[in-house]
Amino acid sequence: MNNFPEFLKKPRARGFFIAGQSTEGQQGNRFSRSFFFKILLIFLLTGSPVFLAAENFEQQEQKVQQALRAMYNMEYKRAGDLFRTVMADTPFHPMGPLGVLAVQYYQNAEDIGFHRRNQQFLLDIEQTLQIYSRQIQHHPDRPEYLFFYGVVMGLKARILLVEKNYFGVLTSGLSAIKFIKKAEKLCPDEPDFHLPAGLFNYYVGISAPYFQIASRIMRESGSKEDGLKSIKADADHGNYGRWEARALLAYIYLYLESDYAGSFAYAAKLADIFSDNPYYAGLTADALIHLGEIDQARIYMKRVQNLLPTLKPRAVLEYQAKLQNLNGSLALAEGHLSEAETNLKLFIRDYAFELDYDLGNAYLQLGNVYDLQKRRPEAIACYRKVIDLNNRTTAVRLAKIYLQKPFSVKAH
């Protein structure tokens, strides 16, 4: 971290890195943080103006950490107030603008749904980019400003992808990589700086070979293993990106890697820290069902149920659907096939979320139900639905297996 001014060197605290969020059900989930801001040489500095600036920055950092915890615990009003205070105060703290942007995203998701939210988010992104652009003009060699600008450009690419603006995805994505790589070069040992590239490398590593072209253009390895290593480094040692990296690992291990113990390890910690956020409890329950820990899974599912009265109407519908899916998975694990069929079919019928990982899992499990009920043609139809999603999940791999050989409890 030697490229940072001394009074900006980092603490080992918790954080936020928005670039990872993805589904409507992930509003507690989704997106990132990382690095600097620890006064290491404060007592070596002389002069009251320097001391006052450093002291004020530490106060800003304390507010940021409070805001991050509030945001991940779905206390959006408190988080928004704190981030806006940080953005309005001096000295400039680079998490202020991104924090305000993140809270607006989560609140809009609860209030207006993801299509309208995305349009509003693009407007909010442009305003945030202007703030970071001004900071870069005044401090072109400060890695944190370059990094946050790149992160926000990455968010823009993410939204444009959902909106199918592929040219915008390309231009915004390349700009994001450009600025993040500048930050990495100035500060190569910062875990948070490596999270976006880690996510990119993981995605390329599980994708079709032609994606390797993109990795070579961006001078990245395109290795799934390298990607997971970078994400894990931020999860274990990052600052603002720590919470998002942990959520990403819990999600990746559950849906893409079949590492259910690894998913549980990260999801359970998040569920305990952010006990008012049902997303992490639901993710933990899902991992536990895959591990065969049924009684433990029920405890976390009950937690989700108990949190429903605290949520806004749109979020209530979302988590009721999540519980329906979990109940279907649980019933299948216990051999209650009719109950599993009912819950899974209702979940599939009403599915209206941005990503399709849960949808693929539900079709896979419904196919398993039909196989156990000796309804092979219906099982085959479900497995083909999973394969058609082509979303690189474990569900797709298993569906290809069960398409050739029926699912059975013994084989499973």
- Domains of the chain plus CATH, in order, are 6-251 (1.25.40), 265-404 (1.25.40.10)
What angle is formed at CA 201 by the lines to CA 122 and CA 123, rounded to 5 degrees? 5
Query: For the chain, what is the mean pLDDT?
Result: 82
Query: So what's the pLDDT on residue 3?
Result: 36
Q: Which residues lie below 8 Å from residue 156, measured CB to CB, with a gap of 6+?
A: 122, 125, 129, 168, 172, 176
Amino acid, single-letter form, for residue 123: L
pTM for the structure as a whole: 0.80
| 49 vs 173, higher pLDDT | 173
Identify whether the C-beta of residue 71 lies closer than 8 Å to the C-beta of residue 79. yes
Identify whether the C-beta of residue 360 lies closer than 8 Å to the C-beta of residue 391. yes
**Residue 11: pLDDT over 90:** no
By C-alpha distance, which of 235, 236, 209 is closest to 222? Answer: 209
**Residue 356: pLDDT over 50:** yes
275 — pLDDT class (breaks 50, 70, 90): very high
DSSP state letter for 11 = P
What pLDDT, in 10s, does the model give residues 189-231? 888 888 887 877 787 777 766 566 666 666 666 778 888 999 9
Q: How far apart are the first and last CA of the chain?
A: 49
Helix, strand or coil, per DSSP, at residue 38? strand
Query: So what's the pLDDT on residue 40?
Result: 25
How remote is the C-alpha of 384 from its chain's centroid? 28
What angle is formed at CA 277 by the lines to CA 67 and CA 305, rounded to 5 degrees? 160
Q: How far apart are CA 268 and CA 286, in angstroms?
A: 11
Give backbone dihedrals phi and psi of 32, rounded to 5 degrees, phi first: -175, 180
Helix, strand or coil, per DSSP, at residue 9? strand
| 407 vs 185, higher pLDDT | 407
Q: How far apart are CA 183 and CA 139, in angstroms?
A: 12
Q: How far apart are CA 221 and CA 214, in angstroms?
A: 10
What pLDDT, in 10s, does the model give residues 72-129? 999 999 999 999 999 999 889 999 999 999 998 888 877 776 678 888 899 999 999 9
Q: How far apart are CA 389 and CA 385, in angstroms?
A: 7
Q: How far apart are CA 395 and CA 364, in angstroms?
A: 6
Identify whether the C-beta of residue 364 lies closer than 8 Å to the C-beta of residue 398. yes
Q: Which residues lie below 8 Å from residue 210, measured CB to CB, with a gap of 6+?
A: none
Two tokens at 89? 């105060």
By C-alpha distance, which of 203, 206, 201 is closest to 219? Answer: 201
Identify whether the C-beta of residue 297 lies closer than 8 Å to the C-beta of residue 285. yes
